[in-house]
Amino acid sequence: MRILYAGLIGGIVMFVWGAIAHMALGLGNVGIRQPASENAVLSSLREGLGDQAGVYILPSLDPHKMSDATAVKAYSEKSKSSPYAWLVYLPQGDDLTQMGKQLPRQWASDTLAALALAFVIGVAGLSFRRRLAMAAAAVMFAWLNLQIPYWNWYRFPLDFTWASLVEQLVGWLLAGAVMAWWIGRQERKLAS
Q: What is the pLDDT of residues 160-182, one digit of tens each?
A: 999 999 999 999 999 999 999 99
CB distance 172 to 3 below 8 Å: no
pTM above 0.85, yes or no: no
Distance CA 114, CA 36 (A): 40
CA distance linking residue 182 with residue 179, whole number of Å: 5
Which stretches of the chain drop beneath a pLDDT of 50? none
pLDDT of residue 189: 65
The pLDDT of residue 56 is 93
Torsion (CA) 53, 54, 58, 60 in degrees, nearest 10:
-110
At 96 the pLDDT is: 82
Instruction: Give DSSP secondary structure letters for 15-47.
Output: HHHHHIIIIIS-GGGTT----TTHHHHHHHHHH
